[in-house]
Amino acid sequence: MSELKLVITGTAGVGKTTAIHSLSDKPPIVTDADTTDELSEIKDTTTVAFDFGEIYLDDATVHVYGTPGQERFRHMWEIIAEGALGFILLVDARRKDPIADLEIYLDNFRQYIESTSAVIGVTRTETEGGQCIEDLYNYLEQKQLFYPIMAVDPRDKSDMSQLMLSLLAMLEYG
Amino acid sequence: MNRTIQLHGFSKNDEMVFTSLLSLLSNKTQYQWDVVQNRAAEVVVIDVDNESDTEVIRNFERDGCKVITYGQPGLIDSTLQLNKPMRAAAILRCLAEVSTNVAVDKPNKPRENEVLSVPSQQPQHNIPVSTPIPTGVSVSYRLKRWPDPSILKATPGATRICAIMLKQVLSAEEIAESAGLALSSVREFIGNCDQKGYLDIKQRVSQIRTPPAPKSRSNPILAKLRLKFGARV
């Protein structure tokens, strides 16, 4: 059996665990714990180690890992990223500074993303999503980085499939 | 039946963009349009930012030419007008309007000069790897924004085309070659993206060379994943 892995990362509460639910063929393993800091205002629990789902193919299983969102669990990120096939970066359009959020994850995973590829899914785009996506594209262009950016609802399997297909296209042709 | 169109007062870049768009749109227009370099064309598009002499427009009209004006929005007072920047949808609208006025049985006027370039939009099959790219100035494209799902679903292999076009400025032929897709599919995709303003369109001098080999780093696992998530090709 071959083993491959994909990594979903982004800020706490952005929808990583939900995204893994949408992509995984089996109910994902989650490592949630009660929130203790300012995050408790927006959600009751948060991932403290990693979430883990599986996509079954004929003769292989692709593992999908979600990193813990809170920066205090940053030490876990490299462990999860090592050997990943590609990265899905989720950005919450309703947060104060989505560009700064993206920058954190692009910087942290840079060495891994440069040797693979990434796609950026923007969640909670109901109100100002269009402008947020435009701002993120402008930021990437300044940095001479070229990754797909699209609005996604992590609960929607079709959105997540489209995100996954974009990542696969970037891995194969980008 | 082919129709003739002439560009007057156009910059080289706009001329190239117009000619390229016309080529891409040729399967959506009522007639096949040939861009000619003389005043005997049935339709003339005048860049009124570069040609402000209204007498020139009148002369074209006196010669029986349908005039489409092209310029900055708000500065043109004409029913047949194209606003800058040039958009495929606006070209289609203008050509549809003039097509109703250009009589179907009207013979083409004799051409005094050569046709610039509007290749036929007949369906084409995958280009062999060894096909040389012709020399000359070509129009190349880069994708500025990942298209919305409606565009991705309209053309099989669109996601693949996007990945190729996101980082590089390439001609339609080069994209087709890299993606291993039919040129007609690539042109259809480019036309759809242009209508939404997703493209950077650039003019580029191409040399005789072997086109890039297909870039795919495909492996069986990625192919299976693609199928799993609903890719058609």
Other CB atoms within 10 A of residue B201 CB:
18
Phi-psi region of A17 (alpha: psi -120 to 50; beta: other; left: phi over 0): alpha
- A118: nearest Cα among A163, A78, A65, A167: A167
Residues of chain A with C-beta less than 8 angstroms from the C-beta of B160: 169, 172-173
B63: CATH = 3.40.50.2300
Whether residue B156 contacts residue B232, with contact meaning beta carbons closer than 8 Å, is answered with: yes
Q: Do B74 and B144 lie in a common domain? A: no
Q: Is residue B109 part of a domain?
A: no
CB contacts, 8 Å: B224 with chain A: 57-58, 60
Q: Looking at residue B134, what is its pLDDT?
A: 42
What is the structure's pLDDT at B112?
38
B86 and B162 part of one domain? no
What is the predicted ipTM?
0.83
Looking at CA atoms only, how far is residue B146 from chain A in angstroms?
A: 5
Are both B96 and B142 inside the same structural domain?
Answer: no
Identify whether B108 is part of a domain: no
Domain region containing B11:
2-101
> Which chain A residues have a beta carbon less than 8 Å from that of B229?
161, 164-165, 168
Nearest in space to B172 (alpha carbons), one of B13, B11, B25, B20: B20
Q: What is the DSSP string of B16-34?
A: HHHHHHHHHTTTTSSSEEE
Give per-residue pLDDT as tens, A96-124. 999 999 999 999 899 899 889 999 999 99
Structural domain count of chain A: 1
Note the pLDDT of residue B221.
83
Better-scored residue on pLDDT, A32 or B41 = B41
Given a cut of 90, whether residue B164 has pLDDT beyond it is: yes
Q: Which of B144, B166, B226 sits opposite A165 (nearest CB)?
A: B226
Amino acid identity, position B184: S
Strands B2-8 and A118-123: unpaired
Is residue B146 located within the same domain as residue B60? no
Task: Give me the domain span that covers residue A115.
Answer: 2-173
Same domain, residue pair B21 and B85: yes
Strands A60-66 and A51-56: antiparallel
Q: State whether B66 and B152 are in the same domain.
A: no
Q: Which residues of B touch A164 (CB under 8 A)?
A: 225, 229
* Cβ contact, residue pair B229, A2, below 8 Å: no
Co-location of B97 and B140 in the same domain: no
> B142 and B219: one domain?
yes
Given B77, B101, B125, which residue is the final one in a domain?
A: B101
Q: How far is B204 from chain A (nearest CA, A)?
A: 21
In chain B, the residue whose alpha carbon lies closest to the alpha carbon of A164 is: B229
B36 and B80 share one domain: yes
> Do the domain assignments include residue B203?
yes
Among A2, A4, A148, whose Cβ lies nearest the Cβ of B162? A148
Residue B24 in any domain: the answer is yes
Question: Which of B166, B216, B229 faces A165 most closely, judged by CB atoms?
Answer: B229
Half-sphere exposure of A86 (CA within 13 A, CB side): 21
Tell me, yes or no, whether B143 lies in a domain: yes
In a domain, B130, yes or no: no
Residues of B in contact with A162 (CB under 8 A): 149, 152
| Helix (H), strand (E) at residue A54 | strand A51-56
User: Is B25 among the domain residues?
Assistant: yes
Report the chain B residue with the minimal C-alpha distance to residue A165: B226
Task: Report CA A55 to chain centroid distance, whole Å.
Answer: 16
Identify from A168, A170, A171 which residue to disrupt to test chain B contact, counting B C-beta atoms within 10 A and taking the largest count: A168
Together in a domain, B94 and B16: yes
Counted domains in chain B = 2
Q: How do residues B194-205 score in pLDDT, each as one tens digit?
A: 989 999 988 766
CA distance B195 to chain A (A): 18
Q: What is the pLDDT of residues A59-97, one digit of tens each?
A: 889 999 998 866 667 777 888 888 899 999 999 999 999
B118 within some domain? no
Q: How many CA atoms lie within 13 A of B56 on its CB side?
A: 15
pLDDT given for residue A167 in this prediction: 95
In terms of domains, do B10 and B92 share one? yes
From the centroid of its chain, how far is CA B82? 15
Q: Which residue has the higher pLDDT, A15 or B101?
A: A15
Which pLDDT score is estimated for B152? 92
Do residues B86 and B159 both lie within one domain?
A: no
Which CATH number does the domain housing residue A149 bear?
Answer: 3.40.50.300
